[in-house]
Structure 1
C-alpha cells in the first residue's frame, strides 16, 4: 500500500531521471560526432515514426542516396561520393535520430508508470511535464535546424544549431536538478545566503559559454586562427567585423571564436574564485565545498582541452571530448547551484 502513497521524495524517480540525463548526454555526444563528420544533412526528410526504420534493401539505399544528391552539400562538397561513403554519414545521422526517439521512450514510459502508481512527488509533476514538452520540441527544433541546410547552404545555420544544442544542454541541467530534488525531497528553510546567487550566476555564465561554443561549431570557426593566445598574431582577428551586427555576432568566424575565448577567460576566473571561496567558507557544508572545487577543476580541464582542440584543428576525438567535458561541467555546476540552496 505504501507504493501508492505520494511522498515528498522518491529515489526510484531520481534514478530514472539520472538515466534519462545519461541518454541526453549520449545524444549530445552522438550529435557532436554527427556534426564533426558532416553527417547531419544525409537524411533529407523528417519522418518521426517511419524514419525509425533505416533502408533495408539496395533499392531503399539508392532512393535515400538520390535524395541526398539533390541538396547543395552533395553538389558543392561531396560530388562523386560513393554509396558506401554515403552510408557512413547516413548511419551517424540515423543513429542520432534513433537515440532521440529512444530517449523520448525512456522518459515517457516510466513517467506514465510512476504517475499511475502516484510515486512522483506532487511538486515535481508539472516540471516533468514541462521537461517532456521541451524534449518533444527538441525533435522539431532538430528538423528546423537540418532544413536550413537543404536548399541554399552546405551546412546548417549556426544560429539554429545553437538553439538545438542549447535546448539539449538546458534539458540536461533540468533533469539533473529535478533528479536531485526527487532524491532529497523538498528543501528545508535556511538562513539567507549569497551562495545560491553566486552559484546560479556561475551556472548561467557556463551555459552562455556553451551557446557561444555552439556558434563556433556552427561556423567551423575552430578551423581558423589555430594559434593561441593570439589570433593570427593579433589580439582581435582581422576579419572580426561582418557587414551587419548580426553577421558579426552569429556568422563571423573570427568574431565567434574571439567571443568564445573571452568568455572562457571570464568563466575560468569566476569558477576558480568561487571554488576557492567555497572551500574556505565556514558557512557551506562539505558537499557544497567539494562541488565548488570540483567545478573549478572541471572548468580548468575544459580550458586545456579547448586549447588543445583548437590548436589541433578539431580532430574528431578531441572535438567529442570537448563537448563531453562541457556537459560534465554544466552537470557539476547544476549540482553546485542546487546544493548551495540547501545549506
Structure 2
C-alpha cells in the first residue's frame, strides 16, 4: 500500500510471510477448526507444522496424505503427532517457529502464551467460553427454544461456543422452560452415525468423568437438576441432556466451562439486567440474543462483551469471510476475514528518497 510521503519521497508497506507457523487445535472438531488456521497461513506464504490433538489425529494424517498428492511443494505442510506436553511444547518453544495458532482450553492457552514469551513469537489463542443465550419475552419462543437447546446440546456440548448459560426474561420463565424441556426431548443421545441422531457420546472416559463431576458439584452447591444429570443408557460415554436451575452466579457450574450437554437457567428483569448477567463471566467468546425488537437486538449486540453475537440464531460459523475470536479469557486475536489473514503476516514499511 502506498502512502503520502512528500514530493521527494515514496513510501509504501509490504505484507510478508512470518516463516514457520505452528498450528495446534482441538479434538472436538478437528476438520472444522483446522482450515481456519491452515488456509490463511498458506495464503500468506508461510510453511506450517500441524500438531493435532493426541486423541484426534487420524483425520489430520489423512489430510496430509491428500495434500501430498497435490502440487503443494514438499515441506510446506508438516505434521507432528504426540502429547501436548511433549510435541506441543517443543513446537511452542522452538526458536525457528515464528507464530503459534492455538485452539483449546483457557488454561492450556495461558501456558502456551507463557512458553512463547522466551522467543517472543506471535500467538493467537481461541480458547474457552461460557456463552449466554438471552431470551426476551417478545421472542418467538418456539424458535428460541430450538435454538437454545441446540446451543448447549450440539456436539454433546463439546463446543467452545456452547450457549450453556440460558438467561430468560422473568415474565416468560415458566412458559419458556416448558418449551425448552419439550425441545430437549428431541436430543436423545445415540449413535452419531445413525441418521437423525442429534447428540452423540462424550469423547473419552476422562471427559465423561469430568462432566459427571460437575453434576456432583452442582448438587453440592444446591442447584436443582430439572432433567438429565447423569449417564444415558447402560454403555458408552453417553450423557443425558441436562438442565439446571436454582443456580447462583457464584456457582462453579455457572462460571466454569463444563464441555458437556449441560445448561443452567436464570432469569433477568430488563435489558440492563440482561446485559449485566451476560457479561458476568471471565469469558467472552459468543452469545445469542432472541428478540423481535431490532432496538433490543442492536443494544444487546453492542453491549455484550463477546467476539460473536448471534441474533435469533446460534452457531452460524463463518466460512472464513468474518472474523472469529474472543474477549477476555476466551482468547487473543482473530481467525477469519482480513483480520485473520493479517495475523499470519509481517508488515514492513519502505521509504525511498527520490
Name the one with the larger strand percent.
Answer: 2
Please state which structure has a larger fraction of its residues in helix: 1
Please indicate the TM-score interval, normalised by the length of the shorter structure: under 0.3
TM-score w.r.t. structure 1 length?
A: 0.25
User: Normalising by the residue count of structure 2, what TM-score does the alignment of the two structures yield?
Assistant: 0.24
